Amino acid sequence: MTSNPSTSPSDQPLTPITTTPPPPRNDLRYIRYNAAHEDAYVPAMRQLISKDLSEPYSIYVYRYFLYQWGELCFMAMDDSLPDPMVGVVVSKLEPHRGGPLRGYIAMLAVREEYRGRGIATKLARMAIDAMVERDADEIVLETETTNTAAIKLYERLGFLRSKRLHRYYLNGNSAYRLVLYLKEGVGSMRTNVDPYGPPPMPEGLAAPEPALLHENGREW
Ligand SMILES: CC(C)(COP(=O)(O)OP(=O)(O)OC[C@H]1O[C@@H](n2cnc3c(N)ncnc32)[C@H](O)[C@@H]1OP(=O)(O)O)[C@@H](O)C(=O)NCCC(=O)NCCS
């Protein structure tokens, strides 16, 4: 290819503008949930989460997680703000059908102006580390198939896509189930199967596992 000698400076290809994300804030305080401050933390959490997640979680959902697994909930606080909570992760950890000790990241949200600075990554890591300390075998979660930021974040942390859940959310959107295996062989660990239940379905068509339901009957 030959270059055009008559090209004026304005015709020259522009150097792409690269936007570098703002550096991680060192002045944020990352803390574990403390039930003694429930009255302040829970409303702040609900406000932060309800803004972005498609599922309308009731207060009972928060209590379900926080009363049993408050030590798996972490928050990022910017103390220069009147409402200091800028990020939160809520999780649980329990045996899955008599099989692996399974962690579950139920909610993760960062205030819009604070995104892209690694806050969610740090919160997710704190939750993962707390589950590892408690001997978790695996960690799972669901995220909308269109949620590029969340998928990128979790895949960078080592999560793999295990299933596509068709029309999983109330808004009709589908989800990916993501899984992080923490120990060798966990992926093939057997779970208890009800001998009187329906026959196992082929991989990829498995029925949703029993879980707490929304008031409207949907899994959350
Ligand atoms: C998903 C969410 C928690 C990420 O928070 P965050 O603090 O911005 O996350 P981080 O900065 O730690 O990392 C986000 C990653 O996604 C990338 N990202 C952010 N927005 C993106 C977008 N629109 N498209 C593609 N990637 C995006 C970031 O660049 C970063 O990846 P990188 O470090 O490789 O560049 C935040 O966007 C949020 O609160 N969303 C609404 C609630 C939600 O969707 N929660 C997840 C439910 S599972």
Consecutive 10-residue averages of pLDDT for the chain (220 residues): 42 53 70 97 95 82 97 97 97 93 97 96 98 98 96 98 94 95 85 54 42 40
For residue 1, being part of any structural domain is answered with no
**Per the domain annotation, does 10 fall within a domain?**
no
Instruction: Please check whether residue 213 lies inside any domain of the structure.
Output: no
From the list 1, 21, 29, 6, the residue with the least C-alpha distance to 149 is: 21
* Residue 199, domain member (yes or no): no
Residues touching ligand 1 (Cβ under 6 Å) are: 52-53, 108-110, 115-121, 143, 147-150, 152-153, 156
* Residue 201 placed within a domain: no
Please tell me the predicted confidence (pLDDT) of residue 185: 85
Q: Does residue 120 form part of some domain?
A: yes
Distance 142 CA to ligand 1 centre (A): 15
Domain that holds residue 161: 27-183
Q: Is residue 67 part of a domain?
A: yes
- In the chain, the number of structural domains is 1
- Does a structural domain hold residue 52? yes
- Predicted TM-score (pTM) of the model is 0.80
15 CB burial (10 A radius; 0-12, 13-18, 19+): exposed
Q: Domain holding 42: CATH number?
A: 3.40.630.30
Distance 167 CA to ligand 1 centre (A): 22
* Cβ(189)–Cβ(99) below 8 Å: yes
CA of 10 to the centre of ligand 1 (A): 36
Question: What is the structure's pLDDT at 200?
Answer: 47
